[in-house]
Chain A
Amino acid sequence: MFPPRPLALAAVIALAITGAPPPAAADGFALVCNAKAATASLSKSDVRALYTGKAKTIAGNAVTVVVRPEDDAPFVQFVDQIFAIPTGTLLSKIKQEVFKGEMQKPVKAATDDEVIQAVGGAPGMIGVVSTQATSHLPKTVTVIAIGG
C-alpha cells in the first residue's frame, strides 16, 4: 500500500481556506488483484509493464486492468507515483495498446466497490483502490505490495 504523500502547496492552500484538506489527499492507494492470481509483490517496473501491455499475464492469467476516472483521487496518485505522467496520458496509452492488440480492453470502475467487484470477478483482473478500502476486502481480492 502506498501512503499519502505530504500535502502539496495546493492542498495546503485548500486547508487554509476551507479548514479541511481535500479528500484526495487524505488517503493513499493500493494495488489489488484476484485472490486466484495472488502475487505477493511487484516492482514498479512490473506494474508499469502490466498497465502498458508489455507484460500480459499475472500468475499465468491474461491481465485485464481496471481503470478509474481521470480525476479519481486514488487512481491519480497511483499514476503519479508509478508512472510519473498525467492520468490522461496513461489512459490514452492504454487505449492505443488495446488498438494495437497488445492489451485487453480495460474495465472501467468509478468507485472502490466497483473496482473490488470487478477484480473479484475474474482471475486476471488488477485494479487500484484507496487505502481505506483494503480494510474490508472480500476473500476473492488481495493486495499486491509494490516494491521499488
Chain B
Amino acid sequence: MASVSGTRRVPAAVALLIATGAAIPASADIALSLYGDVDGGLQTTGTRTGTADGFSAAKLELFTTANAGNWSFLAETLFEAGDDNEFGIDVERIQVNYLYREWLRLAAGRFHTAIGYYNDGFHHGAFFMPGVARPQVVQFEDDGGLIPAHSVGVHADGRFALGDSKLRYDLDLGNGRAADRETVQVNHDTNRPKSFNVRLRFEPSGALDGLIVGGNLYVDGIPARMATDGGPGPLGALREWLAGVHAAYFEHELHVVIEAYAIDHAELDTGVSHWTYAGFAELGKSYGKLLPFVRYEYTRYPAEGDPYYERTAGDGYQAFTAGVKHATSDNIALKAQAGAVVSHASNTDTLFTLTGQIAFAF
C-alpha cells in the first residue's frame, strides 16, 4: 500500500475530535456522513517469497456537506494509514460552491479534477464502486495513479440543452502537478504555469438516456526536480499533456465505464516527449442486490521510460479482474474479487490477487 504523502500527520484520536467536534455542533444544517472500508486479501506469484496476505482497516472518511441557498460546502476528510501502519489525515476535498444557473456552477478549493468518469464519479469512499479499489490508471497520486486526480484552484461546470439532449462542460484551473508526483500542491504553487483542464460530455436523451460520452484535454507545467538522498534523480521542467475519452452507462441494471488516456511528459530543455497510453473497461450487470463485474486494464509506458512517473517500458501491464458486489443494506456493501496482473517485462511472474471488502456508508 502506498504511503500517505503530502499529509500533515496528527494523532488520529485528536484529529477525529477536531473533525467531529467542528462539524456537529456548528449548525443543524451541516450534515456528516461516514465512509470507509475494511479489507482482507492475498496476493501471490506462486512462490513463497512472492506471497503476501493480511487485513487492512486503513480508511475512515468524514463527509461533510452544508447548504445555504445557492451556496454550498463540501469536505471529504480521510483518515488513512500508510506503509508505516500509522494513521494520517488528508483533506481530500474541500469545496465552496455557488450555483448561478444550470449553465454555470462555480467552485473553489481542493477538488477531484474533472478527468474521465471515475475520478469525480466515485471519489474516495469505496462504497459505490463495484471493485475494492479504483482502476490503477485513475488511482490517486499517492497510490500510483497516472492522472492528476486532485486540483487546487477553481472549477466551473454547467449544462446546455442540445435539443432534448444535454452538453455538459467542466473547466478546472489549478496549481497543477508538483515536482514530486505524489504531492498535491494544496498550500501554494511551486511554479508559475497553472494547470488547465477542459472536459466536454454529451448526454443524449430518449432511448440513450443515461449514456455519458466525453473527452478531456489537460495541460500543465511541472517544475524541475532536485535530486534527494535515496530519492529519484534530478529532472528538468516538463510540459504535461493529457488527452482522454470516456463513456459511462448505468441504466437498465447495467454498469459500464470505459476510459482511455494518452499522457505526454515533454522535457522543456530538450523537447523530448515521453508518451504513456493507458485505459480500462469495467462492465457489470445487477441482479437484485448482486452486481457481478469484470474489469480489464492496460498501461504501456514509453520504450525509453517516463522520467516523471519513474517507470520503464517493463513496468507496463495488463490486469484482469472479476468480482461481485452485494448491496447488503443501505449502509453496507460486501465485495469479493480475484485478479491477475500480467507484466510487460519478460521473465516476470503473473501476480494473482484475492480480495474481500466490507465497505460502509453511514
Per-position binary interface string of chain B over residues 167-182, scored 1 when its CB falls under 8 Å from any chain A CB and 0 otherwise: 0000000000000000
- Asked whether B102 lies within 8 Å of A57 as measured between CB atoms, the reply is yes
Interface of B is mostly: strand
From B64-72, B232-240, B275-283, B345-353, give the one contacting chain A: B64-72
How many Å lie between the Cα of A12 and that of B95 in the bound state?
A: 52
Chain A residues near B123 (CB, 8 Å)?
Answer: 99-100
Alpha-carbon distance between A45 and B38 when the two chains are bound, in angstroms: 39
Count of A-B contacts judged by CB separation below 8 Å: 54
Contact-size category for B: 20 to 34
User: Which of A62, A88, A100, A105 contacts B99, CB < 8 Å?
Assistant: A62
Cβ contacts under 8 Å, B209 to chain A: 45
Within 8 A of B (CB), among A84-114: 88, 91-92, 95-96, 98-101, 104-105
Does B101 lie at the interface of the complex (its beta carbon under 8 Å from any beta carbon of A)?
Answer: yes
Asked whether any CB of chain B lies closer than 8 Å to the CB of A61, the reply is yes
Given contacts A99-B123, A99-B128, contact A54 B159 (CB under 8 A): yes
- Which residues of chain A come closer than 8 Å to B128, judged between CB atoms? 96, 99
Contacts A56-B105, A62-B99, A98-B65 aside, 6 further interface pairs with beta carbons under 8 A come to A54-B166, A92-B327, A99-B35, A101-B74, A101-B97, A101-B111
Cβ of A55 under 8 Å from chain B:
yes
Q: B330 at the A/B interface (Cβ < 8 Å)? A: yes
Asked if A64 meets B67 with Cβ closer than 8 Å, knowing A57-B102, A104-B72, the reply is: yes
* Residue B6 CB within 8 A of the other chain: no
Write out the residue numbers on chain A whose beta carbons fall within 8 Å of the beta carbon of B105. 56
CA distance A60 to B101 in the complex (A): 6
